[in-house]
Amino acid sequence: MRGGGWPRAVRVAGVVVLLCVAWLQLALPPLPHDPQSALGGAAREALEADPALGLRNPTAKFLHSRLDGVRLSSAPELSAEQIREIQEQIQRRSGNETVLNEELFGPVQADTIVHNRLEYLRHLIVSLAQARDIDAALLIFSHDYYDEDINQLITTIDFCKLITTNDFCKVMQIFYPHSLQTHPHSFPGESPGDCPRDTKPEEAARTKCVGTPDLYKHYREPRFTQTKHHWWWKANKIFDDVWVLKNHSGLVLFLEEDHFVAEDFLHMLRLLSVAVPRACAKCSLITLGNYLKTYNFHTDARKVEVTQWVSSKHNMGFAFNHTIWQQLKACHERFCNHDDYNWDWSLLHVSNTCLSQKLHTLVLRAPRVFHIGEW
Ligand SMILES: *[C@@H]1O[C@H](CO)[C@@H](O)[C@H](O)[C@H]1NC(C)=O
Ligand SMILES: *[C@@H]1O[C@H](CO)[C@@H](O)[C@H](O)[C@H]1NC(C)=O
Ligand SMILES: *[C@@H]1O[C@H](CO)[C@@H](O)[C@H](O)[C@H]1NC(C)=O
């Protein structure tokens, strides 16, 4: 292990790499900002192996071998048999908390989560590989799409080797069991009798279709609601159900598969977590990313702001601990019943209507987590 000299207690860090949504979205009509439709055939070129991942690295090798095999444009309709197989796999894995590479390591320090857009994920992995102290983190990849190629990609992660010769990162995968992939024709997927999104009230009354329209008179769209369900599920899973994290009282950092991290993101997270009690006693979160169009690392690299947590500004690369999670979880009804399919807006609703004190956060002026996706 690299000698970083962090006292164990402050080895914070979690990475939530969400490996999933893309396959589904790509199979559906393109969203307004769908990069696949904008790029057309060019999207595949972006998948070329990154020189930063030496080809001798197993992750790079795997990606390379898969470049031709990855079909971004179609997600096949699965047969009932295939769905059953996937559910069995997920079921089998749900009781199996294998932490890859743990035998090379001590006990767990921290955590991370997963998604399924291979080309973004590759960039995230490259950036994680280059981050200092990544060997002290546990990466948990949370999938809402089961795919053997992606699972295999994750199992090849030993990118700490890129930095020194001895380090391995601890990696774990979890699988959302109520995904649209495994429930295409029943809740949370579209069930027979569900009202289509744009059903008019008279039509709904006439056809007796099932559903409750939202604020904008639209009926539920499973592919959007899945993201919120998955977020809530994985937070529950990680904070309360993953056995290896039972004794982890430190931070869990949520990342998504189209994020990119700076080399010092863990270092900054640690500095901020140490600073919180002194700098901002009411801050329950730390946010490493922001959506500002311009930032000046020269002047702002060391600057931090204290502000109320706002979903649209502070939903990227944010971290909190189990104490805060318990407060959020106690407001589960507010979160789940809030009429909005965005998990971050639902969290804001919890903050505004349920917590004894609204969520406040420390935010870096010069971000250490960046969004590289197109939407
Ligand atoms: C748990 O998963 C690992 C990796 O997928 C596998 O090698 C191992 O056999 C599994 N253990 C059980 C008990 O299923
Ligand atoms: C948690 O801590 C207790 C007491 O120190 C220890 O016995 C237990 O094995 C730990 N659990 C894990 C999952 O590390
Ligand atoms: C969790 O975070 C809150 C807010 O930063 C802090 O007050 C609390 O002491 C932390 N809990 C633990 C167990 O570190």
The reply to whether ligand 2 has any atom less than 6 angstroms from the CB of 356 is: no
3-state secondary structure of 23: helix
Which pLDDT value is given to residue 293? 80
Answer yes or no: is 207 within a domain. Answer: yes
The whole-model pTM stands at 0.75
Closest CA to 281 of 349, 366, 357, 364: 357
Answer yes or no: is 7 within a domain. Answer: no
Which pLDDT value is given to residue 8? 24
CATH number reported for the structural domain that contains residue 116 in this entry:
3.90.550.10
Which pLDDT value is given to residue 117? 58
Which pLDDT value is given to residue 159? 53
Query: Annotated binding site for substrate: which residue ranges?
Result: 144, 226-230
Which pLDDT value is given to residue 105? 35
Which pLDDT value is given to residue 257? 82
CA 86 and chain centroid, separation: 21
Answer yes or no: is 110 within a domain. Answer: yes
CA of residue 98 to ligand 1 center, whole Å: 6
Which pLDDT value is given to residue 150? 73
CA of residue 226 to ligand 3 center, whole Å: 30
Nearest CA to ligand 2 atom 4: 247
C-alpha to C-alpha distances, 194 to 140, 191, 206, 228, nearest whole angstrom = 34, 6, 13, 19
The reply to whether ligand 2 has any atom less than 6 angstroms from the CB of 106 is: no
Question: Mean pLDDT, consecutive 10-residue segments, the chain of 375 residues?
Answer: 27 34 25 30 33 45 44 58 84 67 38 48 80 81 80 65 45 85 88 92 92 89 87 92 83 88 92 92 94 86 93 92 96 94 94 97 94 71
Answer yes or no: is 4 within a domain. Answer: no
The reply to whether ligand 1 has any atom less than 6 angstroms from the CB of 152 is: no
The reply to whether ligand 3 has any atom less than 6 angstroms from the CB of 226 is: no
Query: Annotated binding site: which residue ranges?
Result: 144, 226-230, 258, 371
Q: Which of 271, 285, 321, 328 to mutate to test the pocket of ligand 3 (most atoms within 8 A of CB)?
A: 321
Owner of token pair 């994020």: 259
| 287/309 Cα distance (integer angstroms) | 9
Answer yes or no: is 6 within a domain. Answer: no
Tokens representing residue 12 in the block: 């914070």
Query: Annotated binding site for Mn(2+): which residue ranges?
Result: 258, 371
Ligand that lies nearest to the alpha carbon of residue 107, given by its number in the listed order? 2
Answer yes or no: is 1 within a domain. Answer: no
Query: Could you give the number of structural domains in the chain?
Result: 1
Which pLDDT value is given to residue 96? 63
Output the CA angle 201-206-212, nearest 5 degrees: 40
The reply to whether ligand 1 has any atom less than 6 angstroms from the CB of 352 is: no
Which pLDDT value is given to residue 200? 93
| 370/64 Cα distance (integer angstroms) | 25
Answer yes or no: is 9 within a domain. Answer: no
Which pLDDT value is given to residue 100? 59
| 40/296 Cα distance (integer angstroms) | 34
Yes or no: say if 259 and 352 are a contact pair by the CB < 8 Å rule: no
| 256/234 Cα distance (integer angstroms) | 12
Domain of residue 275, residue span? 16-371
Beta strands in 322-375 (DSSP E): 360-364, 369-371
CA of residue 323 to ligand 3 center, whole Å: 6
Yes or no: say if 341 and 225 are a contact pair by the CB < 8 Å rule: yes
Answer yes or no: is 91 within a domain. Answer: yes
CA of residue 238 to ligand 1 center, whole Å: 19
In the beta sheet, which residues pair with residue 223? none
Contacts of 370 (CB under 8 A, 6+ apart): 259, 260, 261, 262, 289
Query: Where do runs of H (alpha helix) occur along 220-321?
Result: 222-240, 265-279, 297-300
